[in-house]
Structure 1
C-alpha cells in the first residue's frame, strides 16, 4: 500500500485555487470543489497481472515497469483489500489532520483484467469500507486501453452512477513506435476505441502520458498533447520517463544506451504540453518518481514539489496558462461516433470466459 502523494502535495497553496486563478487546473482543488474538503487517494494492490505479462498478447511486461517500485505491497505477502485500505488510511491520518474522504486507487498492473464478477467483488468491497470515520468516496482504476470490453465498461458505468469513479487509461503516447519500444503490445487505435466507448458514461476518463520516450521529438510529444482535447479526456497524468533497477529500461540506462530527459527540458515540455490541452482538463500529476533505492535516473524527479514550483514559474515567465494554445478539434468529442468494441479476443477470453483468478481473498476478517 502507498499513499498517492501527487493528489495534493503540501506546496504553495496558490496552485490550489479556482481554474480562473492559477495556471493549472489542479487535481486537489478539483476534488475540494467536488467534495468540500481534502480527499486523499490510498493505493491498493489487488494482485492482478497484465496481458503483456501473462502471454495473452506478449510477455515481459512494459520495459520500464517493475511493480516493486510502484507499490511496496508487491514486495511482501499480499494483504486483503480491506486491510490495505485500513492501514493506508491510518497512515494518511498520521500526516494530515483533516481528511474529508478517501479514494481507493487500484494502481499496480491492469485492474480491469479479471472476470467481471471478481472485479465487482473487489470494487464493491472498497466502496463499502466503513472503519475510517471519513468515507471512501470513490474509486480510481488504472488499466490498459485494450482491457475494456463492454462487460467491464458496463460495470464501471454502474459503479459511477452511485459513486465517483476515475478510469485511468495507459495512453503513454499516440505514436505506435513508442508503444512498441515499451512492449505495450497495443496500438494507439486501441486507445481511441476505448475512450470513444467510455466517454459520457458517468465516470471520469483520465489519460496517463509519459514524456521523454526515446526517439520522440518535441513535436511528437505535442501531437500527443493535441490528442487529449481531440478525444475529450476529463483528466491527465504526466510522467517523466524514469528508470528503475530490475527492468529492461534500467539495464539500458546503466549501460549508457539511453539517457533520461534533463530537468529543465522536462519542465518546459510540460508547460508546452499543458498549454495545448483544454483549460478544463484536470491535471492530476505533472511528474513521476520511484523509491530512491530503486530509482536509477533521473535523480531530479525525487524533488516533486520543486518540479511543480518550476512549472508554475515557467508559466509565470511566459504569462501563459493551461489551455492558452489549445485548438479545439473540428469534431467535438461529444459528437464522435461510438465504435464497435475491438477488445482483442485473447484478452476478452481472459476477462469473460475464464474462472476466478487466484488473487488475494477478498472477504473481510
Structure 2
C-alpha cells in the first residue's frame, strides 16, 4: 500500500487538476499510459449460489458489465491476449496493462485456484504490470489476503471492494446480503499488506438522502481506503431493478444533481485518495436509465466545471486524518462460514478455463 503521506499522491494539485485522477496517477507511477484489460474468470457470487442469498444484486447483470460475458466464456489467457491487442489498436502508446478481474466475485473460489489464475495473468504477457481484483467485503478471508500480500511483493495489486454504501437499508435493497460491519472488518484486515484497497460506491440509491451519501463519504475517508470508484445508480435490462424502473417505483438521480453530489463527495475525501472513477454506464443496448450517463466526457467536464465554479478541489472539506494500522489493529476474520467453506479448501470450479484445459 502506498504511503498516504507520499508527495507523489499530492502531485495532482501542482498539475492543476480538481481531483487525484486515476489515469494521471498511473502515468506518474509507471511513466506512461496504463490500461486495464477486463477478465471474466467464470466466478459466481455468494448471493447468487445460496451461500448467503440467491438472486444476486438487484442491479447486476454481468452481460452489461463485462464484454466477455456477452459471448461464450473464453480462456483467461485468450481474454488477456485479445484485450491487449484491442487496446493497442486504440492507443498508439501504452506503457503497460493491468489484468482486471471484473465480473462477479473474484475472490470467491478455492484459494489455490485463485493463486493459479492470478499468477497466470501476471505471467501471461511481459507488459502486464499488476492485477485489479473486484470482490465483496465478506469474501476475503485471511487466506486470500495473505495470497494478495505475497503477489504484491513483486507486482502492483489492487483489491476493489463493493462497499456501495455504509447504510444497511441500501445494502438490503440491493440484496447484497452482507453488512457494513463486514466492510470494516475486511478493510482493517487488508490495510498495511502492500496492496491497494479501493472502495466502490453507488450514488442515488433509493431512500438515501444527500446527508446519508455524505456520511458514506466520511466513512470512506475514515476507513483509510487508497482509492475510490464512484458510480451513479443505473438500470439495465434483465435485472430485478429493471422492473422497478419500468414501473416507476424507482427513479434515477438527475444529471445536475449527480454532478453536485460527486463534487460534494470528493471534497470530503482526503487529497491523497486516488479517484479511479466518477461515473458508471452500460452498453446502450442494455441500458434503461439514466441515458445521460452514456455521455461520460460531458459528465467529466461538468464535474470539473463545478469544482472550478466553487473554487474547490478534492479534500477541500476533509478535516480528518488517515488512520493507520496501529489506530485500528487487525481484527479477527469474520468471513461467514458458508463463504469460507468455498475458499479455504482445495478444489476447482469446473467453469473456469485456463490455457486449454478446464479446471
Q: TM-score range by the shorter chain?
A: over 0.9
CA drift of 1:167 comes to 0.3
The match for 2:203 among 211, 214, 221 is 211
CA drift of 1:353 comes to 2.8
Does 2:44 match 1:55?
no
C-alpha distance 255-137 of structure 1, shift in aligned 2 (>3 A): same
Give the 5 Å matches for 1:192-271: 192-271=184-263
Whole-Å Cα distance in 2 between the matches of residues 196 and 343 of structure 1? 13
SS at match of 1:207: strand
The match for 1:168 among 154, 160, 163 is 160
Whole-Å Cα distance in 1 between the matches of residues 74 and 326 of structure 2? 41
* Residue number in structure 1 paired with 2:132: 140
* Residue number in structure 1 paired with 2:276: 284
Does 2:180 match 1:188?
yes
Does 2:12 match 1:18?
yes
The match for 1:85 among 80, 88, 93 is 80
* Residue number in structure 1 paired with 2:98: 103
Whole-Å Cα distance in 1 between the matches of residues 34 and 322 of structure 2? 36
* Contact 2:245–2:251 (Cα < 8 Å) also in 1: yes
* Contact 2:223–2:323 (Cα < 8 Å) also in 1: no
Does 2:324 match 1:341?
no
CA deviation digits over 1:229-262, x for unaligned, max 9?
Answer: 1110000000000000011111100111110000
Whole-Å Cα distance in 1 between the matches of residues 352 and 115 of structure 2? 14
* Contact 2:113–2:347 (Cα < 8 Å) also in 1: no
* Contact 1:230–1:332 (Cα < 8 Å) also in 2: no
Whole-Å Cα distance in 1 between the matches of residues 240 and 278 of structure 2? 24
Whole-Å Cα distance in 1 between the matches of residues 119 and 200 of structure 2? 25
Structure 1 segments of 4 or more deviating over 6 A? none
Whole-Å Cα distance in 2 between the matches of residues 69 and 264 of structure 1? 25
* Residue number in structure 1 paired with 2:308: 316
Report the TM-score, using the length of structure 1 for normalisation.
0.93
* Residue number in structure 2 paired with 1:33: 28
Query: Which structure 2 segments of 5+ residues have no match?
Result: 1-10
Whole-Å Cα distance in 2 between the matches of residues 217 and 257 of structure 1? 17
* Contact 1:205–1:233 (Cα < 8 Å) also in 2: yes
Whole-Å Cα distance in 1 between the matches of residues 22 and 323 of structure 2? 27
Whole-Å Cα distance in 1 between the matches of residues 301 and 326 of structure 2? 34
* Residue number in structure 2 paired with 1:305: 297
Whole-Å Cα distance in 2 between the matches of residues 236 and 301 of structure 1? 18
CA drift of 1:350 comes to 1.0
Does 2:64 match 1:72?
no
Whole-Å Cα distance in 1 between the matches of residues 325 and 279 of structure 2? 27
Whole-Å Cα distance in 1 between the matches of residues 172 and 183 of structure 2? 14
SS at match of 1:19: helix
Whole-Å Cα distance in 1 between the matches of residues 275 and 322 of structure 2? 24
Does 2:266 match 1:274?
yes
Report the TM-score, using the length of structure 2 for normalisation.
0.94
CA drift of 1:18 comes to 2.5
- Alignment coverage as a number of residue pairs: 347
CA drift of 1:360 comes to 2.7
